[in-house]
Structure 1
Amino acid sequence: MRFPPFYLLAIAYLLCSLPACVSYQELVNFEDIRAPRGQATEIENALEVKIQAKDLLRVDVESIDPEAALPFNQGGEMTGVSQASNQNIQLFQGYLVDEDGYIDLPLLGRVKAAGQTVESLQFLIRGKLKTYLRDPVVNVRFLNFKVTILGEVSNPGILNMSNSRVTILEALGMAGDLTDYANRSSILVVREQDGERSFQRINLQTDEVFNSEYYYLKQNDVIYVEPIRARTATISDPGQRVLAYLGPILSAITLVVALASRN
């Protein structure tokens, strides 16, 4: 029995495409979550982000008497400029934590910031301001809290965060989510803290990710999403790219030939 040439082309295409196939299991996140549906679990790995050397902080001081608080504030937001320009201006107005962990505040002098949370630093500055201001209110936030995402995501790059409480899932969402070729069982997080560098791999297909100390990100974390083998095949074999475009065409031709052969 002889097969038409188009049938042979279609079979050859399917055989060549096998290395690039992605299984359903490779595309699913949180497949092995064991918690019963609707059951709440206590968060035991909540992270308190600590201030480190080279962090850039914004410190806003308010009081019942606004004029008395002015000397303790840097320039406020400028009107008539875009939000992106305003953020760039703030990078030059923030307080940089020096190598010894201190920031220099007007009138207050050097204040120890490294090793503290935003809340504890606010409390410390508020106590020092009571000598000068009545009922001072202090707000501290990061200006350079960022994470870097590389690999198999839709939009890799550096993400600048306005909120210091960020999870790895939120960061991946900001990067446009994982691609179809992402290895969801092995996502690498690189962290530098207190002069040390640590590495941790996270499996998004189990519920262990929610209990990991790397679930909540810290400033300057690097996330690398490695590809699965199917992705390697498409890059190493240029023919796979051609087949990706020829596939729909061959399928259409095969269908036409099959219908015509019945007549």
Structure 2
Amino acid sequence: MRIRDLEGWTIAFDLDGTLVDSAPDLIGTLNRMLAPRGYPPVPLSSARHLVGHGARALLRHGFAEAGAVWDEVAEPELFDLFIDDYVAHIADDSQAFDGVVETLDHLAARGALLCVATNKRTDLAVALIDALGLARHFVVVAGPDLVSARKPDGAHVREAVQLAGGDPARAVMVGDATTDTGSARAAGVPCVVAGFGYNDAPLAELGGDIVIDCFPELIAAVETLHRMATQSAALAPEAAAI
């Protein structure tokens, strides 16, 4: 039986590019929007960085990558077409990154609360998580429609943690992009960067506290952040007494 040393701590996860390699299905849907309009497909290899900022952002930037412009006012139905197509193909090729299930099980067994804070709409995030059999791991899945602001606003992370029954003062954010590190900084929460994800800036510039190269490395990263927080808390009364 593992010691529940992470009891009282909450770990919030980004979804696309952190827990799940969802780019193949998202870019597949994008390309199915481009093709009937006469635009070339966007190669997956050059479009992974487009994922993680929400469907509208993916459409705008994806069309730009193809040398086109999506005029949302002139063609508002495209967004709904995109969502309908994506739902139909949400887990055709998407899959959890290696080590996700084992790592989540390990952290939960040590007492951590786990939640998701994603810029993906909540219903879409839940559908993807369900399709991949990951739902049992998370107390809450919070898209921007479930909280008062979307990442990089700190409210997204804070409120996701609170919805999970956790305390933002004892939380860790795990993500792969500037929206995640920005939200974590704004919330006063340490951030672990998934270096294998859809990084939208050089790793050294993302502003995370620890970078991991594969998902199982998250265990040691959380242990380090937990130890640092515990030591800081122990030193606080001594500093106050000086």
Q: After TM superposition, is the score higher than 0.5?
A: no
Structure showing the higher helix proportion among its residues: 2
Q: TM-score scaled to structure 2, two decimals?
A: 0.24
Q: TM-score scaled to structure 1, two decimals?
A: 0.23
